[in-house]
Every structure is written in structure tokens, then in C-alpha cells.
Amino acid sequence: MPSGSRYSLTRLYNVLWEAYGPQGWWPARTPTEVAIGAVLTQNTSWRNVERAIAALETADLLDFRRLHEVEEAALAECIRPAGTFRVKARRLKALAAWVWHRGSGSLEAALRGDGRVIRADLLYVPGIGPETADAILLYAGKHARFVVDAYTRRILIRHGWIGPDATYEAIQDRFERRLPPDAGMFNEYHALLVELGKRHCRARARCKGCPLESWPHDADAS
């Protein structure tokens, strides 16, 4: 099987889908929650994100207009459960300012238009890197952008599809060039890779029983 080809990427998707089924991502109720969660989840567990989001809801801050107005220090206290809360408060304020300027306070309006242009604009927001920008574009804006995370990178390296020095953009390009631009599929594909990573392709691989166990791989590659 040619590595990383359209055929193999489709087959990988089908194997994961058959193994795990629909993942129902992103775990949020609204696009605003998705975007806020995408910042809060940086370097912490989802359980901590949920606690911070609950605190934001109690404080009536699950709204970009309110986030734009609130004092940064008060916001930081509110999201303390998410860890590195001062940094994340600064980032949420920067994202809220972006939504304010680009969409007059409406995230939906800010995310409307050409996904590539919006992505380039989002990357100017302090603290918004490629993974966070793509998560917001895909899960909040329904743009067909493939989200690359540490699990995706590790799985592809261990199966010899990319080298250890592959950039984020090179990995993303591999998926986006070889698969149809289908936001629904990209949504599930990323979620399925995360599920595979959490269950099997951890720092120490658990290949026994993995859906990809029979595929050529090097479990020690990283």
C-alpha cells in the first residue's frame, strides 16, 4: 500500500470508523463554547476545561461580547481550573478582541468567508497557533480544515507515513490534498485519531488489540 496515499488515508478512516463509530465532536453546545474550549484545552485535560467552562457559564461569560468587556484579572480567576489561567485569560481576551473587530462581536460573522483568509487572520491573534485556529475553523466555523494534533503526528510517524521532522502544515496538507474537502469527515477523522491515540498510541504504544495492529509499524518511533 503506498504510504499516505488517498487510498490508505481513506482506508485508515474506514478502519477507525468501524472500530469506534461516530465520536460526536466537538464536546460543546455552541460554536462559542467550541472556540473558548479550543483555547482552554491547551496543555490541560478536558475535565479541567469543563470545570472552567462551567465557571464561565455561572459568571455569564460564555459570550464573546461579555469576554471583550470583562477585566482580564476577573476572567483569569474564573478560568483558574483550566491551568495557566493568566496566560489563557490573555489569550481569550485577544480572541474576543478579534471577534469584536472581525465580526462586531459575533463569532459566526467572524468565521464567515474564505477559510484560508480567516485562518491567516486568526494566526495573528496572540496565543492562537495552527492547531487552535484549525479547531476553531473546523468545529465552530464548519470549514474543511484538517486538525493536526500530537496523536496524529505520532500515529503517522509510527506507521512510516511522515518523518519526525514533518511540519504541521506538511501533515495537514497530506490529508487535505488527498481527501475530499468534507468538514463532516474531517471532524470525525480528527476525533477518531484522538480516540486511537488515547486508547492505544500513547507515549508507550499499546499495539495489542489496536485496530492498526496488523499494519506495518514501529511502535518505538517518535
The contact set with ligand SF4 (CB under 6 A) reads 155, 158-159, 196, 200-201, 205-207, 210, 212-213, 217, 219
| C-beta separation of 175 from 146 below 8 A | yes
Closest to ligand SF4 by CB, 68 vs 199, is 199
Q: Please name the residue ranges forming H helices in 21-106.
A: 31-40, 46-58, 64-69, 72-78, 85-103
Cis omega (within 30 of 0) on the bond before 161? no
Closest to ligand SF4 by CB, 19 vs 59, is 19
Q: Quick one: DSSP state of residue 198?
A: H
| C-beta separation of 94 from 132 below 8 A | no
CB of 205 to ligand SF4, least distance (A): 4
Vertex 188: Cα angle to 82 and 9 (nearest 5):
120
List the grid coordinates of 103: 465580526
List the grid coordinates of 121: 487572520
CB of 48 to ligand SF4, least distance (A): 26
Closest to ligand SF4 by CB, 143 vs 153, is 153
CB of 147 to ligand SF4, least distance (A): 18
Closest to ligand SF4 by CB, 16 vs 107, is 16
Closest to ligand SF4 by CB, 100 vs 161, is 161
Of 2, 13, 64, 51, nearest to 175 by C-alpha is 13
CB of 215 to ligand SF4, least distance (A): 6
End-to-end CA distance of the chain: 22
Closest to ligand SF4 by CB, 90 vs 199, is 199
CB of 162 to ligand SF4, least distance (A): 13
CB of 201 to ligand SF4, least distance (A): 3
